Amino acid sequence: MLAYVLKRLIQTAVVVLIVATLMFWLTRQTGDPVQMLLPADASTAEVAEMRQHLGLDQPLIVQYGRFLLSAAQGNLGVSYHYREPAMKLILERLPASLELVVSTTVISLLLGVPLGVLCAVHKGKLVDRLILGASLIGISAPPFWVSLVMILLFSLTLKWLPSSGRDGILSLLLPAGSLALYRIAFGVRIIRTGMLEILSQNYIRTARAKGLAERVVTYKHALRNTLVPFVTIVGLQMGAILSGAVVTESIFAWPGMGRLMIMAVERLDFPVIIAYAMTVAVIFAFLNLAVDLTYAALDPRVRYH
C-alpha cells in the first residue's frame, strides 16, 4: 500500500510540473502584463524598466529556466500586481475557498442523500416525480443565473441574507447554497439510480425474506452499498466545486482563490495564475488519492499495488 501511495505522489509531482509548464507557456501568449501595471501617463522608460525588473525582457526559455530554479527552492514567483509571493496570496485565500467547498458539500449531502433515498423508496409516486423534476431544473440552471436569482430573492426581496462578502455564517449560506443546488440535484439522481439498482438485487430480497424491517433494508443494506461508489463521486465533485466556485466567488465578493485567479487572469498576473494552476492540480491529485484510498477501505474487494 505504501508503495502505491508513493507511486501516486510521484505521479502528482509529474502532473504538477506539466501543468506549470503549460501554464507558463500559455500565459505568455495572452499579452503584456507591464501595460496593466503602470499608470497610463508613465513614460516608455519606466515601462522598459518595469519589464526588466520583472524579467519579462528575457527570452522565454531563460524565463522558464529561472522559474524552474526558484520553484525547486519553493518560490513560485512574486505577483506582478501585489508584489507579494504568489503562493502566499493563494494560501491566504485558501481557507475561504475551502469553507465554500466544504459547506457546499455538506449542504448537498444533507439534502441530496435523503431526497434521493426518498425518491428511490417511493419510486413512481408523486413525490418521486416532483423531486426528479426539480432536480432537472437544478442541473440545467446556469450557476451564474442561480446566484443572481438567489441574491434577488433572499437579499433584496426577503432581506434574510447578505448579498455579498464574507462576514459570519449567514454570508456563507447564499454562495454555498447556489453552488450546492447543482450538486443536490445531481446527488438526488445518483443516489436514486444507485439505490434502485441495488434494491432490485438478490441479497435485498434475501434480507426482506429474513424478516428485517424495511428501514433496516433501506439504510443498512441498500444505502450503505450505494454510498460506497457515491463517495468517489463526492470526492471528485469537491474538485469541481472548487472550479465552479470561481464564478460564485466573483458574484458574492467571496475572498477565495477563485476570485484571485479571475483577477489575475484579467491583470495578466502570470506568477499568480501559474501558482493557482499548480495548487489546484495538487488539490485534485490529493482528492483523487483520498477517494481511491477511501474506496479501498470501504470495499474489501478493492486492492492496490
Partner 1 sequence: MLGLRKRSRSIWVVAAIVFAMLVGACTSGGKGSSAEQPAGGSGKEPAPAKTSIVLGMPSDPRTLDPHKIQDNTEWNILYHLFEPLVARDPEGEVIPGLLMGWEAADTEKKVWRLKLREGVTFHNGEPWTAEVLQYNFDRVLKEPDMTVKQYLQGITQYKVIDQHTLEITVDTPLSILLNGFIQFAVVPKQYIEQNGADKFGREPVGSGPYKFVQWRKDEHLKLAAYDQYWGAKPAIQDVTIRPIPEPASRVAALVAGEVDLIRGVSIYDVDRVKQNAGTTVVSRGGPRMWHLKMDLFREQGSPGFPAGQRNAFLDPQVRKAVYLAINIDEIIQHSLNGFAIPANQFQAPFIWGHNPNVQRPAYNPDEAKRLLAAAGYPNGFAVRLDVEEGWEHVGEAIVGHLDKVGIKVELNVAPASVYRTMTAKYETSFAFGGWGATLVNTSFDGNVYTAGKEGLGRANYGKFSDPEFDRLTDEARSTFDPDLQLERYRALQAKVADQLPIIPLFHEGIVAGTRTDLAIVIRYNEHIYAQDMKFTK
Site string for partner 1, 46-65 (x = CB under 8 A): xx-----x------------
- Determine if 273 is a binding residue for partner 1 (CB under 8 A): no
- Determine if 298 is a binding residue for partner 1 (CB under 8 A): no
* Total Cβ atoms within 10 A of residue 259: 22
Q: What is the DSSP string of 138-182?
A: HHHS-HHHHHHHHIIIIIIIS--S-SSS--STHHHHHHHHHHHHH
- 88-127 positions binding partner 1, by CB under 8 A: 92-93, 95-96, 98-99, 102-103, 106, 109-110
Total residues contacting partner 1 by CB under 8 A comes to 69
Nearest distance, CB of residue 207 and partner 1, angstroms: 13
Considering beta carbons, is residue 19 or 273 the nearer one to partner 1?
273
For 209-250, what is the HEC assignment? Answer: HHCCCHHHHHHHHHHHHHHHHHHHHHHHHHHHHHHHHHHHHH
Nearest distance, CB of residue 210 and partner 1, angstroms: 13
Q: What distance in Å separates the CA atoms of residue 104 and residue 97, rounded to the nearest whole number?
A: 11
Do the beta carbons of residue 278 and residue 290 sit within 8 Å?
Answer: no
- Determine if 14 is a binding residue for partner 1 (CB under 8 A): no
The three-state secondary structure class of 2 is helix
CA trace torsion 113, 118, 123, 125 (10° rounding): -140
Nearest to 264 by CA among 100, 42, 256, 57: 256
- Determine if 151 is a binding residue for partner 1 (CB under 8 A): yes
- Determine if 211 is a binding residue for partner 1 (CB under 8 A): no
Considering beta carbons, is residue 52 or 243 the nearer one to partner 1?
52
Q: What distance in Å separates the CA atoms of residue 149 and residue 156, rounded to the nearest whole number?
A: 10
- Determine if 83 is a binding residue for partner 1 (CB under 8 A): yes
Q: Which of 75, 255, 288, 292 forms a contact with partner 1 (CB under 8 A)? A: 255
- Determine if 166 is a binding residue for partner 1 (CB under 8 A): yes
Q: Which stretch binds partner 1 (CB under 8 A): 187-195, 259-267, 282-290, 291-299?
A: 259-267
- Determine if 146 is a binding residue for partner 1 (CB under 8 A): no
Q: Which stretch binds partner 1 (CB under 8 A): 27-35, 181-189, 230-238, 270-278?
A: 27-35
Q: What distance in Å separates the CA atoms of residue 301 and residue 265, rounded to the nearest whole number?
A: 45
Nearest distance, CB of residue 214 and partner 1, angstroms: 12
Segment holding 89, helix H or strand E: helix 86-121
- 181-210 positions binding partner 1, by CB under 8 A: none
Helix (H), strand (E) counts: the chain: 13, 0
Which grid cell sits at 175?
454562495
- Determine if 2 is a binding residue for partner 1 (CB under 8 A): no
Segment holding 190, helix H or strand E: helix 170-199
Nearest distance, CB of residue 255 and partner 1, angstroms: 4
User: What does the binding site for partner 1 look like in residue numbers (CB under 8 A)?
Assistant: 30-33, 35-47, 53, 81-83, 92-93, 95-96, 98-99, 102-103, 106, 109-110, 148, 151-152, 155-156, 158-172, 213, 215-216, 219-220, 250-253, 255, 259-260, 263, 265-268
